[in-house]
């Protein structure tokens, strides 16, 4: 277990995995959060950004050599909320732009898409992003509207986690998937809808470099 609101926890997790497993075939970045109020982690980052993006970025980078050696694959959970996201490299922490938290959530998912796209240009690792739909989980515990919807539908609103897990496993393990590395899937359909910044190659490179500095890694692999 690892607390993604602590980058030291992520580093410890990576060290444990690398010392325990000589081969790593799959990394599933599925942790996430959406918050109604803005808060910073102990590392000084807005918690949506860190939980949904910085921590998965760091873990992937730390495990990357072992994944490449094993011919492995990375699948990272994204969201169609990326369409509403906007990356501002000078305000990744949303210190000036915070509204309800939806903007930070969308930006974190857009960042994941940009990360996997950039990873595809910098390595040979098989990597995809995946929008699972609205899933019945505790993603946003402090959002009263979502709590009300769940209560009104007796917790049946959204896709069952088991259905999403089956789709996730297929993307992770099906070697017949021939879509280009970096493809964004909407459920199991490739090339899901993305925001305009998602195709900005300069932005993906700049974001990679900025993120590497934030988590204390060199930009070059």
Catalytic, 105? Answer: yes
3-class SS string, the chain = CCCCCCHHHHHHHHHHHHHHCCCCCEEEECCCCCCCCCCECCCCCEHHHHHHHHHHHHHHHHHHHHHHHCCCEEEEECCHHHHHCCCCCCCCCCCCCCCCCHHHHHHHHHHHHHHHHHHHHHCCCEEEEEECCCECCCCCCCCHHHHHHHHHCCCCCCECHHHHHHHHHHHHHCCCCCCCCCCEEECCEECCCCCHHHHCHHHHHHHHHHHHHHCCCCCCC
Non-local CB neighbours of 170 within 8 Å, separated by 6+ positions: 188
Question: Of 35, 53, 105, 184, which residue is the catalytic one?
Answer: 105
Question: Which of 26, 11, 20 is CA-nearest to residue 125?
Answer: 26
Active site residues: 105
């Amino acid at each position: 277990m690892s607390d993604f609101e602590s980058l030291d926890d992520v580093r410890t997790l990576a060290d444990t995995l690398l010392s325990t497993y000589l081969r790593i075939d799959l990394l599933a970045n599925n942790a996430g959060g959406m918050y109604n109020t803005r808060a910073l982690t102990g590392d000084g980052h807005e918690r949506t950004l860190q939980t949904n993006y910085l921590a998965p970025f760091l873990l992937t980078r730390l495990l990357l050599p072992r994944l490449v050696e094993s011919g492995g694959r990375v699948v990272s959970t994204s969201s169609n909320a990326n369409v509403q996201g906007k990356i501002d490299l000078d305000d990744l922490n949303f210190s000036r732009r915070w509204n309800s938290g939806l903007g930070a959530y969308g930006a974190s998912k857009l960042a994941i898409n940009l990360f996997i796209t950039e990873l595809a240009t910098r390595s040979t690792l098989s990597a995809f992003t995946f929008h699972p739909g609205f899933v019945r989980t505790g993603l946003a515990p402090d959002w009263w509207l979502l709590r009300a919807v769940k209560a009104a539908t007796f917790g049946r609103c959204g896709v069952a986690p088991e259905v999403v897990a089956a789709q996730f496993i297929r993307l992770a393990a099906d070697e017949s998937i021939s879509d280009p590395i970096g493809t964004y899937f909407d459920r199991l359909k490739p090339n899901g809808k993305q925001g305009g910044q998602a195709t900005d190659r300069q932005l993906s490179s700049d974001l990679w470099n900025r993120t590497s500095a934030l988590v204390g890694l060199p930009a070059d692999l």
